[in-house]
């Protein structure tokens, strides 16, 4: 998309992109919603194009997990062996979320949709399994691999949002299939909660419960199904009671069926509970949800960001090194809270991270990103999950300015 160059934008572009950079971004007209909005969307779409250029294997309708993929043969073998480096459902979920984030936010979404929707649908179907009951999405592209409830719920959230955007009932049908599959993993062991894996029912994780709350509220908003809202409220309470660290309000990883808690703290777990609380506040107007969202957000901002002084000499707040896909889920939470509070404190830190990353964490030749947004370390192979996550962040930032 070609736009007229406005002199006020040139400075912005030269500040954000290095002179040696061979990946270009279309000039931006400040009349288009605001220069930063368009700039971030350009970055999201540019990197998304790179995903399909460098990871997509059209013969098999599947993504590779890494670039360059040292195991890839680019031969259509008729099946999906692990040793060819194809993406798991988790990695493909980051691509689906990136597609959804762009589609939700770009004004020219019809053109974007026409370019990519068939590939996105084809890629998703590779993981779909009807042979097992209830149907759902497998962790890998075959009919015998274990199915993860969290893989499915991430798909489900995107599917219901895509339905809301397009009103295409195919998305709604698949979202409801996912919801039924997730509920099949819920029982009264430990009082309530959804398991992590379908076959190995030995833990209930924040990542398989917090997003179910988000998904349940979104289904309720789309279908007016009160049962979805009831389930969301119940699972929110169970997750808070069992997996929140009372000392800082952040969320641990999981609780074993034995009662043992594994306590690493990842940004996506707390991010989903921020979003869950904000959505439940919107749905119920119960003030405690908003209070809880604010508490988690403040602790998450302190815990998952650090002060960093780049070459420019101005100290910024930047995301700590970790999974960029996890951090993208944290931005979902901050973004949902921002819609209520209109406080840009947390959004500002994300903006500083993403502005810095475009120059220092992006490979000049491939246009792909390293996991370390500071640029202090680089990755020999660029991960699909990493790049799907950062695309989502740029797309979301386009509407948070």
Structural domain includes residue 2 = no
Structural domain includes residue 159 = yes
The pLDDT, as a whole number, for residue 28 is: 38
Label residue 15 by pLDDT band (50, 70, 90): very low
Quote the tokens at residue 339. 């819609």
Query: What mean pLDDT do residues 50-70 have?
Result: 94
Query: What mean pLDDT do residues 108-126 have?
Result: 93
Residues 266/254, Cβ–Cβ less than 8 Å: no
Residue 15 CB burial class (10 angstroms; 0-12, 13-18, ≥19): exposed
Structural domain includes residue 360 = yes
With pLDDT > 90 as the criterion, what percentage of the chain qualifies? 80
Has residue 124 got a pLDDT over 50?
Answer: yes
The C-alpha atoms of residue 392 and residue 387 are separated, in whole angstroms, by: 9
Q: Which tens digits make up the pLDDT trace of 154-185? A: 999 999 999 999 999 999 999 999 999 999 99
* Contacts of 329 by beta carbon, 8 Å cutoff, 6+ apart: 267, 268, 271, 272
The pLDDT, as a whole number, for residue 34 is: 58
Label residue 6 by pLDDT band (50, 70, 90): very low
Structural domain includes residue 190 = yes
The C-alpha atoms of residue 384 and residue 107 are separated, in whole angstroms, by: 26
The residue behind tokens 């990695």 is 91
Instruction: State how many domains the chain has.
Output: 1
Structural domain boundaries enclosing 370: 7-397
The domain spanning residue 60 has which CATH number? 1.50.10.20
The pLDDT, as a whole number, for residue 8 is: 37
Q: Which tens digits make up the pLDDT trace of 16-32? A: 333 333 433 333 333 34
pLDDT top residue among 152 and 34: 152
Structural domain includes residue 176 = yes
Residues 102/53, Cβ–Cβ less than 8 Å: no
Has residue 117 got a pLDDT over 90?
Answer: yes
The pLDDT, as a whole number, for residue 2 is: 35
Query: What mean pLDDT do residues 97-109 have?
Result: 89
Altogether, the residues listed in the chain come to a count of 401
Structural domain includes residue 1 = no
Q: Which tens digits make up the pLDDT trace of 211-265? A: 999 999 999 999 999 999 999 999 999 999 999 999 999 999 999 999 999 999 9
3-state secondary structure the chain: CCCCCCHHHHHHHHHHCCCCCCCCCCCCCCCCCCHHHHHHHHHHHHHHHHHHHHCEECCCCEEECEECCCCCCCCCCCCCCHHHCECCHHHHHHHHHHHHHHHHHCCCHHHHHHHHHHHHHHHHHCCEECCCCCCEECCCCCCCCCCEHHHHHHHHHHHHHHHHHHCCHHHHHHHHHHHHHHHCCECCHHHCCECCECCCCCEEEHHHCHHHHHHHHHHHHHHCCHHHHHHHHHHHHHHHHHHECCCCCCECCEEECCCCEECCCCHHHHHHHHHHHHHHHHHHCCHHHHHHHHHHHHHHHHHHEEEECCCCCCCEEEECCCCHHHHHHHHHHHHHHHHHHCCCHHHHHHHHHHHHHHHHCECCCCCCECCCCCCCCCCCCEEHHHHHHHHHHHHHHCCCC
Query: What mean pLDDT do residues 333-351 have?
Result: 97
The pLDDT, as a whole number, for residue 7 is: 34
Structural domain includes residue 338 = yes
Quote the tokens at residue 185. 């993993």
The pLDDT, as a whole number, for residue 20 is: 36
Label residue 319 by pLDDT band (50, 70, 90): very high
The pLDDT, as a whole number, for residue 390 is: 98
The C-alpha atoms of residue 330 and residue 336 are separated, in whole angstroms, by: 10
Structural domain includes residue 225 = yes
């Amino acid at each position: 998309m070609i736009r007229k160059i406005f002199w006020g934008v040139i400075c912005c572009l030269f500040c954000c992109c290095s002179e040696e950079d061979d990946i270009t971004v279309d000039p931006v007209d400040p009349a288009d919603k605001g220069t930063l909005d368009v700039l971030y969307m350009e970055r999201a779409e540019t990197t998304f194009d790179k995903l399909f250029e460098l990871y997509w294997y059209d013969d098999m309708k599947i993504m590779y997990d890494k670039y360059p993929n040292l195991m890839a043969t680019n031969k259509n073998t008729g099946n999906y062996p692990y040793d060819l480096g194809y993406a798991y459902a988790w990695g493909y979920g980051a691509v689906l979320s990136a597609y959804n984030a762009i589609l939700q936010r770009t004004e020219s979404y019809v053109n974007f949709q026409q370019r990519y929707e068939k590939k996105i649908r084809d890629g998703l179907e590779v993981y779909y399994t009807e042979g097992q009951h209830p149907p759902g999405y497998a962790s890998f592209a075959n009919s015998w691999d274990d199915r993860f409830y969290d893989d499915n719920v991430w798909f489900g959230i995107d599917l219901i949002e895509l339905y809301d955007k397009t009103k295409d009932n195919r998305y709604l049908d698949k979202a409801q299939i996912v919801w039924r599959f997730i509920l099949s993993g819920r029982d009264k062991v430990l009082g309530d909660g959804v398991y992590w894996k379908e076959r190995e029912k030995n833990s209930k994780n924040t990542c398989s419960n917090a997003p179910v709350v988000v998904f349940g509220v979104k289904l309720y908003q789309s279908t007016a199904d009160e049962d979805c809202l009831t389930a969301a409220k119940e699972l929110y309470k169970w997750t808070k009671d069992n997996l929140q660290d009372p000392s800082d309000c952040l969320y641990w990883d999981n609780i074993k069926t034995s009662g043992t808690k594994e306590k690493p703290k990842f940004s996506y777990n707390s991010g989903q509970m921020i979003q869950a609380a904000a959505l439940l506040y919107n749905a119920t107007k119960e003030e405690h949800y908003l209070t809880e969202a604010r508490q988690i957000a403040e602790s998450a901002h302190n815990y998952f960001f650090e002060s960093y002084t780049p070459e420019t000499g101005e100290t910024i707040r930047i995301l700590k090194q970790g999974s960029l896909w996890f951090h993208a889920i944290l931005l979902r939470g901050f973004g949902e809270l921002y819609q209520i509070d209109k406080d840009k404190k947390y959004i500002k830190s994300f903006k500083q991270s993403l502005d810095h990353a475009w120059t220092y964490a992006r490979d000049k030749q491939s246009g792909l990103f390293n996991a370390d947004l500071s640029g202090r370390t680089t990755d020999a192979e660029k991960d699909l999950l990493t790049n799907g996550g950062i695309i989502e962040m740029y797309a979301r930032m386009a509407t948070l300015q």
